[in-house]
Structure 1
Amino acid sequence: MSAATIEVQQYRPTERRVTFGGLVRSEWIKFWSVRSVVVTMIAAFVAIVGIGVLTSFATRAALADADGAQAMAAQGIDGFGASMTGSQMGTLVVAAVGVIVIAGEFSTGMIRTSFVTAPNRLGILAAKALVLAVNVAVVTGVAVLLAFLLGQAVLNTRDLGTSLGDDGVLVALLGNVAVLVGVALAGLAVGALLRNPAGAICTVIASIFVVPLLLMPIPDSWQGDKIQEFWFSNTPQNAALVTPVEGYLSAGTGILVFAAWVAVLLGLAALALKSRDV
C-alpha cells in the first residue's frame, strides 16, 4: 500500500508596490473623511459667498451717495472688489484646511502609518498637496464665481456692477482662486514644519494679517516699501483685483513671487519630512 503524497506549496506573499496614484486615492479618501476638514471647507464656501454678497449690499448703499462713492473710490473699493471681500476671509479658512491635512495626522500619530506605507515620505507630501490644491481650487472656484455673480446682481440694481466679460474680470477671478490655493498649500507646508495644528494656524494667520501691519512703520530709507511689496501675503494683491492698487507688485510679477514663496515653503517642508524623525 503506497502512502499518499501531499505536496505542500510554500506561501509566497505578493509584493505590491505603492504607486503615486494609490497615495493620491488614499489622501483623497482621508481628505473627505476628516470631519474638521469637511466643516472647514464648507465654512470657506459660506464665507466667500456670504461676506461677498453682504459687502455688495453695503457697497450699493454707499455708492448710491455721492460722498460715499468718492470716499470708497479713494480707498480703491469698487464693485468687483466688494463682491470679492469674502475671498480675504476665505484665505484664513483654507489656510487652516492646509494645516489640518498634515498637522492633524502628526497630532494623532496617524502619520506613522502613512510613512510606513511610503517610506520616502515625499510622495505623501506631493499627494497631499495635489489633493488639497484640486479640492480648494474646485470649491473656492465655485464660491468665487457665485460671490461675483450674486454680488454684481445686487450692484446692478443701481447700475453699479460689472460683467464677466469686462476687461480683467475673468483674470482677477482666477487670481482670487490662485491666491486661495497658494495659501492652502502654504498652510500645508507650515503644518509639516511645525507639526502642531494650533501653532501652525496661528503662524499662517500672523503671516497674512499681523506681519504686514508690523512692516508698515519701516521707513523707505530702510527699503521698507520693498519689504512690504515682496512679503508673502502682499505679493498677490493686484492679481486678485481688476483695478490695481499702488504700493503692490503688478499682477503678473506678484503672482510669480507668491508662487515662489509657496514653492520655497513646500521645499522646506519636504526637507523637514526627510530629515526629521516622526
Structure 2
Amino acid sequence: MTAADLTAVPAPRTAHKVTARRVLRSEWAKFWSLRSSWITLTVAVVLLIAFGAIAAATYSPDATATNGPPGPRSGDQDAVSLALLGATFASLAVGVLGVLLSAGEYTTGMIRSTLAAVPRRLPVLWSKAAVIGPIALVLTTLAALAAFQLGTLGLDGEKIALSLGDDGVLRSLAGAGVYLGLVAVFGVALGMLLRSSAGAIAVLVGVLLILPGLASLLPDSLYDSINPYFPSNAGSAIYALHQSSDALSPGAGLAVFAGWVALALAGAAVRLRRTDA
C-alpha cells in the first residue's frame, strides 16, 4: 500500500451521543431560526404594552365595567388590571407560537428528521417546552412591567394609580408573565397532540376564549361551581391584584392552570411515544 493510498482512507467519524443538552440546543437554534418566532413574540409584546398604555391613557373614573374596554376580568378596575388588559390577546399570540413550534414540524415533514435524530422522542417535547416557556415568560413579564410604567403616566393623579412598591403589584405583573409562559407551553402540547397547526390553534382559541362563554348556558349552580376552573379563568386569577369572591386565589389559579398544561403535555407525550410521525 502506497502513501497515496493511506492518505485516501477517510478518517473515522466521531459518534456524538444524543443528550438532553444537545437536544435542547437544537430546539433553541430551530426556534430562533424561524421567522414566525420573531414576529409572534413581537406581536405578543406589542399587544401587551399597547393595550395597557392605551387603557390607562383613556381611563375615566366615571366609566363603568360594561362600557369600558374588554378585559379578562370584570368589576372594579385598578392600575394593574388596566396595564394587563392586553394579556388575553397576548395569550393567543404566544399560544399560537407554541403550536407553530411543534405542529409546524408535522406540516413540513421535518418531524421525521427530528425523531430520526432523537429516537427516544420525548426529549424533543420537553426541549420545545423548555425553550419557549422561559422565553415567553421573560419577554412578557418585561412587557407587563413596561405597560404598567407607561400606564402610570396616564393615571397620574387618579385614585386607582399605583406604584411598583405597592402591595401585590410586582406579584401580579410577574404572574402575568408566568401565565403567558404556561400558555406557550400549552400551545406546544396541543400542537404535538393534534399534529395540525389549524386544529391546535382552533382548540387553543376554543379552550381559552369560547369555552367559558358556552359554559354560561349551564344552570347557574353548576356554572358557579366549575367556572373558576376553566383554563383562562384560572390563568387570570394568577395575575389578579385582588381576588374576587367567585375566583380562585393566585396560588390556586396557578396550580389549576399548570394542571391543565400538564394534562396536555401528558397526552402529547403518550401520542408521541405510541404513534408514528
TM-score (norm 1): 0.90
Deviates more, 1:128-137 or 1:9-18: 9-18
Equivalent-residue separation in structure 2 for 1:247 and 1:220 (angstroms)? 13
Q: Distance in 1 between matches of 2:154 and 2:2?
A: 88
- CA spacing shift, 1:4–1:153, aligned 2, 3 Å: closer
Per-residue deviation, residues 56-102 of structure 1 (Å, max 9, x unmatched):
1122xx11x4x659987982222210111011210010000100001
Instruction: Structure 2: give runs of 5+ residues left out of the alignment.
Output: none
Partner of 2:192: 192
Q: 1:134 maps to which residue?
A: 134
Q: Which position in structure 1 is the counterpart of 2:82?
A: 82
TM-score by length of 2: 0.90
- Cα gap change, 1:36 to 1:120, in 2 (>3 Å): same
Q: Which residue of 1 aligns with 2:207?
A: 207
Q: Offset of 1:143 from its aligned partner?
A: 0.7
Q: Secondary structure at the match of 1:257?
A: helix
* Change beyond 3 A, Cα 1:169–1:101: same
Number of the residue aligned with 1:256: 255
Q: 1:4 to 1:25 in 2, by over 3 A?
A: closer
Identify if the C-alpha distance between structure 1 residues 95 and 107 changes in structure 2 by more than 3 Å, giving closer, same or farther. same
Specify the alignment match of 2:180 in structure 1.
Answer: 180
Distance 1:152 1:7, change over 3 A: same
Contact 1:76–1:245 (Cα < 8 Å) also in 2: no
Q: 2:267 matched to which residue of 1? A: 268
Deviation at 1:230, TM superposition (A): 1.4
1:6 Cα deviation after fit = 9.2
Look up the match of 1:171: 171
Structure 1: where are the runs of 5+ without partners?
A: none
Q: Secondary structure at the match of 1:166?
A: coil
Aligned length: 271
The aligned amino acid for 1:259 is A
Q: Which moved more, 1:19-28 or 1:101-110?
A: 19-28
Alpha-carbon shift at residue 160 of structure 1 (Å): 3.9
Distance 1:228 1:17, change over 3 A: same
Task: Tell me the C-alpha RMSD between the 2 structures.
Answer: 2.4
Match of 1:103 in 2: 103
Shift of 1:30: 0.9
SS in 2 for 1:101: helix
- Give, in whole Å, the separation in 1 of the partners of 2:10 and 2:235: 62
Shift of 1:224: 2.3
